[in-house]
Amino acid sequence: MPTPRVKIPAQAAKGEVFEVKTTIDHDMESGQRKDSAGKPIPRKIINKFVCTYNGKEVFKSDWAAAISANPYLSFFLTATESGSIELKWHDDDGQVYSASHAITVA
């Protein structure tokens, strides 16, 4: 089971713009390779990433097979209120990997 790594500040001032850095271990199998026997290796990638902030979707990203293995993603949010930032990675096979991070906004 892939394990995400996430870096988000624990505290931020109201209105402050902060960076969300994420990585997750995943092969991002493109579907364009063949194994040593010449058989095509089926595609298996993370195709969608969603970030919600206190339940509201604030950022989303759709990924194609051109995204490198062990995908790294960084983006920015504005600190509006204390609460929880939820991150979800959606796999082609239906699995969802998630991480949750508490933030205090003063």
Binding site for another protein (CB under 8 A): 3, 5, 7, 17-18, 21, 23-25, 27-28, 30, 32-36, 38, 40, 53, 57-78, 80
For residue 51, count other CB atoms closer than 10 A to its CB: 21
Q: How far is the CB of 77 from another protein (least distance, A)?
A: 4
Count CA within 13 A, CB hemisphere, residue 102.
1
What's the token pair of residue 63? 């990924």
What is the smallest separation between the CB atom of 32 and another protein, expressed in angstroms?
Answer: 4
The DSSP annotation for 16-32 comes to -EEEEEEEE----B-S-
Q: Which is nearer to another protein, 30 or 82 (CB)?
A: 30
CA distances from 50 to 19, 73, 86, 88 (A): 15, 11, 8, 5
31 vs 95 by CB, closer to another protein: 31
**Smallest separation (angstroms) from another protein to the CB of 57:** 7
Min dist CB 33 to another protein, Å, is 7
